[in-house]
Structure 1
């Protein structure tokens, strides 16, 4: 599974940028997101402040920009 942190402009709702979550973080993301079942690879989740903060720490990124809203997407690996 490939996971992306996506940032959307609050005014236009256009995708501004995305960052790939490093492989091997499935269990950490499961805990952060509170998932109780496996992901299919076509999901997208709006992030609350605590989820966003945990994911930003996980990827070692800068604090988020309040001009964007953020989502985590789950994408099936390319075969």
Structure 2
């Protein structure tokens, strides 16, 4: 599974950028997101500020900017 953090401009709704989370961090992502079932590969989730902060630690850099709305997508 490939997990992407997507940043959408709050004004236009357009995708501004995306960051791929490191492979092999599936279990950590599941814990952060509180998932109880396996993902199918088409889901998208709005991220809370706390979830984004935890995912930034996995990513190894800070990406938060208040002008964006952040989502996590799951792709096969």
Deviations 1:13-53 (A, max 9, x none): 10000000010000000000000000000000000111011
Give how far 1:4 is off.
0.3
Deviation at 1:63, TM superposition (A): 4.4
> What is the distance in 1 between the residues matched to 2:6 and 2:63?
14
Q: Name the structure 2 match of 1:57.
A: 57
Give aligned pairs, total: 76
Query: Structure 1, unaligned stretches of length 5 or more?
Result: none
Q: CA RMSD in A?
A: 0.7
Correspondence 1:2 to 2:2: yes
Normalising by structure 2, report the TM-score.
0.97
2:30 aligned partner: 30
Is 1:18 aligned to residue 18 of structure 2?
yes
Q: Which runs of 4+ in 1 moved over 3 A?
A: none
In the alignment, structure 2 segments of 5+ residues that lack a partner are none
- Rounded to whole Å, the distance in 2 between the matches of 1:63 and 1:17 is 10
Corresponding position: 1:70 with 2:70:
yes
